[in-house]
Amino acid sequence: MEKYINAFINAFNGTVDWTWKSIIFDVPWYTNYFWGLTAISVIVWLLEIGFPWRKYQSIIRKDFWLDGFYMFFNFFIFSLIIYNAASDVIVNLFNDGISAISSGFDLQASNPMNGWPLWLILVIGFFVRDFVQWWIHRLLHRSDRLWEFHKVHHSVKEMGFAAHLRYHWMENIVYKPFKVIALMLMGGFQPEQAFVVHFIAISIGHLNHSNIKLDYGPFKYLFNNPIMHLYHHAKELPNSFKVGANFAISLSMWDYIFRTNYVPTPNKNIILGFKDDQRMPTNFLAQLFYGFKKGD
């Protein structure tokens, strides 16, 4: 137990230090999560301002500042600090479990991707990560218990880039361990490679929630997009989609493969939210504890 406690403490301290160094530009630019997120956000926001789909929507839309705070809370205060520390514990537990099952087994050394081109490892890692997220996202809608937490994300009433990272902190608890384990099983997927995949996913996610009319033409069957994702947030869906539609995170292909896609003629004026969404608290602190009580 002491080993895992020390792993948590060391990872926590290391991540806090890394985050501070990122803020003061004391890390390589391509691994700078803080300013990377900030730069992507500003770029997508400028695209929203220059090419708005819903022209009546204010530049500082409803809940703009709340969503902006959520971005940095989920990405740094909770995700990078608390989750990264917990991830080190998961990694230690996983490796100890592998060793206990098969003494002397080295997952990294035996991985068939060793020696593969970097670009191929990145592509495979991107697909694996996204596929795991698609299934978990679908579970958030199918499970009544998890849906209570996921309602925070669906309480968005006007779409914009920052809505991407408005979600309940419990979603980190559900999502992250599965993503860590999936990438660990790949073996050849290294942390420095994860930065590249993560920034691509953040960019796509920001665009999906943006106030831009974009579907990527023939590539809409591969990549999620603002038009498709707008219907994921629709308050009303056909009866055949009782638990939701368009669960794609980055890749829309999973929805087309598993027939959970729903993209009618684009309508920028659809009402967003969920049944009884007026009961959702409007401030961050109240939303922080939302979903723990039955019937929230």
SS3 107: helix
Structural domains in the chain (count): 1
DSSP, collapsed to helix, strand or coil, labels residue 116 as coil
CA–CA separation, 141 and 291 (whole Å): 14
291 torsion bin: left (phi>0), alpha (psi -120 to 50), beta (else): left
Q: Does a structural domain hold residue 134?
A: yes
On whether residue 296 sits in a domain, the answer given is: no
Q: Model confidence over 129-140: pLDDT tens digits?
A: 899 999 999 999
Confidence band of 19 (pLDDT split at 50, 70, 90)? confident
The reply to whether 75 falls in a domain is yes
- Asked, for residue 293, whether it belongs to a domain, the answer is no
3-state secondary structure labels for all residues of 191-212: HHHHHHHHHHHHHHHHHHCCCC
Both tokens of residue 217? 């033409």
Per-residue confidence band for 198, with pLDDT thresholds at 50, 70 and 90? confident
Give the global pTM. Answer: 0.86
pLDDT of residue 257: 98
The whole-number pLDDT of residue 249 equals 96
Percent of the chain scored above 70 by pLDDT?
78
Residue 289, pLDDT score: 93
Q: What pLDDT, on a 0 to 100 scale, did the predictor assign at position 163?
A: 97
pLDDT of res. 100: 59
Instruction: Tell me the residue range of the domain where 15 lies.
Output: 2-288
Judge whether 127 lies within some domain.
yes
Mean pLDDT of the chain: 85
Q: Is residue 206 part of a domain?
A: yes
| 89 assigned to some structural domain | yes
